[in-house]
A and B are shown apart, each in its own frame.
Chain A
Amino acid sequence: MITLEYYLILAAALFCIGLFGAVAKKNAVAVLMSIELMLNSVNINLVAFNRFLAPSQLVGHVFAIFVIVVAAAEVAVGLAIVISIYRDRFSTEVDNLDWLKW
């Protein structure tokens, strides 16, 4: 029997992988992909809670769809920024993107 805990553990693991990727990866595209991972782990949480706590309602699903839409928009904007940075600097290394400081 697969209970709620398994889903939550899976989501937590996925979130941690995503977080590690977002903080540690050098490539800006990889960072964006890691953020997708984190968002999707949240989606798993939402859908799982919906299934186990209130199966008659679709609140969790609706939320998840919202997140997917926002994520899609975010990726579109993010990739556009990455591309324009790349055109300017010929690099997508996040470490080099530190000119917005003192």
Chain B
Amino acid sequence: MLELAWLIPIFPLIAYTLIIFLTKKSKSISVAVALAGIVASLVISIGVLVETIQKGITMAEPFEVAVKWLRLSAIDKYTGLNIDMGILIDPLSAVMMFVVTSIATLVIIYSVGYMHGDPGFSRYFAYMSLFAFSMLLLVIANNFFEMFFGWELVGLCSYLLIGFWFEKPSAAKAANKAFITNRWGDFGFMLGIILLYINFGTFNFGEISRIIGDGASGVGAAILTLISLLIFAGPMAKSAQFPLHVWLPDAMEGPTPVSSILHAATMVAAGVYLLARGFVLFNESTETLLFIAYIGGITAFIAASFALVQRDIKRILAYSTLSQLGYMVMVIGVGSITAGMFHLTTHAFFKCMLFLGAGSVIHAVHTQDIFEMGGLSKKMPITTWTFIIGALALAGIFPLSGFWSKDEILLATHQAGFTGLYWLATLVAGMTAFYMFRLIFIAFFGEKRTDHHAHESSPWMTVPLIILAFFAVFSGWGLVKMGYGSMVFFGHPHHGEINLGIALISTVFALGGIVLAWLIYYRKIVDTDLMKQRFRPIYNLLWNKLYIDEIYEWLFDKVMLGVAWLCNQCDRKVVDGIADGLGDTVRHTGGWMRFMQTGSLQNYALVIFGAIVIIVLLMATPVLGGVIR
């Protein structure tokens, strides 16, 4: 199976090409093609994962195949450029590919029900296939350049899918916002890999870690810090870390299955995956690691606090994704890619499920405001129960998957000596439980608030939910039993024993959050409106997301446009002034000089005569007693 691994990204690409060029007219064939492509990838990636485990392929000895893609030989002092296209199979990429393909498969199945009757039906499945291809290319890449390729394609696909209903102005805006925000990060990432190539002479992951491992790179610590910080700009935008997180909540404008795949497996996971894949670089710079850890911690906290007050079901989930991504980035920053990737995997399953559940709800009640729902539990039992399972997993309640990975994160943070971040993360765990169960008690329980005729969704939509619920329950425990810690690691295998103290504290926080939500939103022991009144400034601050969007708008309107105006003036006045001035000078001099040409015959004769006299006098100078110099 390992030899076939290169086919994993290829199948969705073929599906995309077929749908776009051939089968676009027929909806059923397009769906079949998309499904066939992704299922083929899923089958191979399961095979690859199994074989990786059986053959004992480790992080240190991966399976790598590459072909030469671009060769530019060195000329004089300019170094050449060698770019490969290859595949790199190690436990990290094998697990990741399984996550991506399985979630993409389930989301595509779900989409058949969700997108039913949409005019852009075939186009949707083409984009989905392209999205899967891009992400798989990124995951399977064996060098930074190839990864960058996939990285950019993922950005493009997210743009296409967020703006899928582009006739809606808000969707078009959100797509642009996502694309432009990502551009900031991609720019840093690109600068980073260029600098990397200049200093190391290779893009290849293995070679870079070998060079660094030998300690013979001759690259200064300052340069390494710069490179790793620049590369981290990429994950900051793609995994939506503060302060580049603004695009992710707006990305809700796309169809809900898109949000689901975007939040679980493809787009935002790419950043965390890059951090894990390039960890050898980040590990070389303590400054960068500190920066990563604190950015992650800040993101986890502020996103959780935003989620406390939101009303839109998808926005609450979006902020919870942000918060969980903050967790992953933070724990990679403190040095444990095991915990980060573990949480990425479990989170992918339950977050995907939560979004699909939200999509099922929205499909049924046609509103996204949780205060307009209420009492859905009786009408939509499967959706409700899977949603509750997802929320419990997200809150980290034993023995669901979230418990294992969240505990791993808290443990790693605690062990690395980041006590402040540890308590922050524990607090965020409590907040997470609170806002998730606030959502559940408001939307699924209580009395019906508006007149909606909710009904359970079709099997196309509920079956993926049930499958994902299974993963959400068992993937954490299963992965721990499979020895995830001794498969995906950096340096030394990390044995994630459950630390009873830490597990107890986080569980207490999580249960506390749930009970609080139950008391406030189910038993209604306090009046929420009164609380809103009393804490008006804090509520406003959180409701408006710390005014970060407004700050960016101001920066764009005033600072950026101001600088652009200045550049424009500089160009028009100074640069154009010099060029135009030169031309004008010549023109005016010529215009003035032309009066020398009188056109009068006798004038010319006089000038000719005068010239001859001067020449003769010059020639006669020696005769007349002068000196020729």
State whether A94 touches B599 (Cβ < 8 A). Answer: no
State whether A22 touches B597 (Cβ < 8 A). Answer: no
Distance in Å: Cβ of A15 to nearest Cβ of chain B: 11
- Cβ contacts under 8 Å, A23 to chain B: 602, 605-606, 609
**CA A22 – CA B608 in complex, angstroms?**
12
Number of interface residues of B (CB under 8 A): 11
Cβ < 8 Å to B, chain A residues 17-47: 19, 22-24, 31
State whether A102 touches B605 (Cβ < 8 A). Answer: no
- Cβ contacts under 8 Å, B600 to chain A: 94-95, 97-98
A101 within 8 A of B: yes
State whether A98 touches B599 (Cβ < 8 A). Answer: yes
B616 within 8 A of A: no
B585 within 8 A of A: no
- Cβ contacts under 8 Å, B609 to chain A: 19, 23
Distance in Å: Cβ of B528 to nearest Cβ of chain A: 89
Partner of A22, one of B594, B595, B598, B605: B605
- Cβ contacts under 8 Å, A90 to chain B: none
A100 within 8 A of B: yes
Q: Which residues of B contact A (CB under 8 A)?
A: 594-595, 597-602, 605-606, 609
State whether B602 touches A22 (Cβ < 8 A). Answer: yes
State whether A101 touches B602 (Cβ < 8 A). Answer: no
Cβ < 8 Å to B, chain A residues 67-102: 94-95, 97-102
- Cβ contacts under 8 Å, A97 to chain B: 599-601
B contact patch SS: helix
State whether B599 touches A100 (Cβ < 8 A). Answer: yes
Most buried by A among B598, B601, B606: B601
State whether A24 touches B597 (Cβ < 8 A). Answer: no
Partner of B598, one of A24, A31, A98: A98
Partner of A24, one of B594, B595, B602: B602
- Cβ contacts under 8 Å, A95 to chain B: 600
A-B contact count (CB 8 A): 30
**CA A97 – CA B599 in complex, angstroms?**
8
State whether A101 touches B605 (Cβ < 8 A). Answer: no
Query: What residue of chain B has the Cβ atom nearest to residue A99's Cβ?
Result: B599
**CA A94 – CA B599 in complex, angstroms?**
10
Given contacts A94-B602, A102-B597, 16 further A-B contacts (CB under 8 A): A22-B602, A22-B605, A23-B606, A23-B609, A31-B601, A31-B602, A94-B600, A95-B600, A97-B599, A97-B601, A98-B598, A98-B599, A98-B600, A101-B598, A101-B599, A102-B599
**CA A94 – CA B609 in complex, angstroms?**
18
- Cβ contacts under 8 Å, B606 to chain A: 23
- Cβ contacts under 8 Å, B605 to chain A: 22-23
**CA A101 – CA B594 in complex, angstroms?**
9
- Cβ contacts under 8 Å, A101 to chain B: 597-599
- Cβ contacts under 8 Å, A22 to chain B: 602, 605
Distance in Å: Cβ of B602 to nearest Cβ of chain A: 5
6 CB-based A-B contacts, threshold 8 Å: A22-B605, A23-B609, A95-B600, A97-B600, A98-B599, A100-B599
- Cβ contacts under 8 Å, A94 to chain B: 600-602
**CA A21 – CA B597 in complex, angstroms?**
22
Query: What residue of chain A has the Cβ atom nearest to residue B593's Cβ?
Result: A102
**CA A19 – CA B609 in complex, angstroms?**
9
**CA A40 – CA B595 in complex, angstroms?**
35
**CA A99 – CA B597 in complex, angstroms?**
11
**CA A102 – CA B598 in complex, angstroms?**
8
Query: What residue of chain B has the Cβ atom nearest to residue A26's Cβ?
Result: B602
Query: What residue of chain A has the Cβ atom nearest to residue B600's Cβ?
Result: A98
Query: What residue of chain B has the Cβ atom nearest to residue A94's Cβ?
Result: B601
- Cβ contacts under 8 Å, A31 to chain B: 601-602
Query: What residue of chain B has the Cβ atom nearest to residue A25's Cβ?
Result: B602
Distance in Å: Cβ of B611 to nearest Cβ of chain A: 14
Query: What residue of chain B has the Cβ atom nearest to residue A96's Cβ?
Result: B600
Most buried by A among B597, B599, B600, B602: B602
- Cβ contacts under 8 Å, B602 to chain A: 22-24, 31, 94
- Cβ contacts under 8 Å, A102 to chain B: 594-595, 597, 599
Query: What residue of chain A has the Cβ atom nearest to residue B609's Cβ?
Result: A19
- Cβ contacts under 8 Å, A99 to chain B: 599
The 7 closest A-B pairs by CB, nearest first: A101-B599, A98-B599, A102-B594, A101-B597, A98-B600, A23-B602, A23-B606
- Cβ contacts under 8 Å, B601 to chain A: 31, 94, 97-98
**CA A23 – CA B603 in complex, angstroms?**
7
- Cβ contacts under 8 Å, B598 to chain A: 98, 101
- Cβ contacts under 8 Å, A100 to chain B: 599
**CA A24 – CA B606 in complex, angstroms?**
10
**CA A97 – CA B600 in complex, angstroms?**
7
- Cβ contacts under 8 Å, A98 to chain B: 598-601
Distance in Å: Cβ of B577 to nearest Cβ of chain A: 29
Distance in Å: Cβ of B194 to nearest Cβ of chain A: 57
Query: What residue of chain A has the Cβ atom nearest to residue B590's Cβ?
Result: A102
**CA A98 – CA B524 in complex, angstroms?**
106
Distance in Å: Cβ of A82 to nearest Cβ of chain B: 12
**CA A68 – CA B163 in complex, angstroms?**
95
Distance in Å: Cβ of A36 to nearest Cβ of chain B: 15
Distance in Å: Cβ of B607 to nearest Cβ of chain A: 10
Distance in Å: Cβ of B565 to nearest Cβ of chain A: 43
**CA A69 – CA B595 in complex, angstroms?**
37
**CA A98 – CA B609 in complex, angstroms?**
19
Distance in Å: Cβ of B592 to nearest Cβ of chain A: 11
Distance in Å: Cβ of A50 to nearest Cβ of chain B: 22
**CA A23 – CA B606 in complex, angstroms?**
6
Query: What residue of chain B has the Cβ atom nearest to residue A98's Cβ?
Result: B599
Distance in Å: Cβ of A35 to nearest Cβ of chain B: 9
Distance in Å: Cβ of B587 to nearest Cβ of chain A: 14
**CA A98 – CA B597 in complex, angstroms?**
10
**CA A102 – CA B595 in complex, angstroms?**
8
- Cβ contacts under 8 Å, A24 to chain B: 602
**CA A31 – CA B609 in complex, angstroms?**
15
Most buried by B among A19, A23, A31, A99: A23
**CA A24 – CA B605 in complex, angstroms?**
10
**CA A22 – CA B600 in complex, angstroms?**
12
Distance in Å: Cβ of B588 to nearest Cβ of chain A: 15
Distance in Å: Cβ of A43 to nearest Cβ of chain B: 19
**CA A93 – CA B384 in complex, angstroms?**
111
Distance in Å: Cβ of B142 to nearest Cβ of chain A: 72
**CA A25 – CA B126 in complex, angstroms?**
93
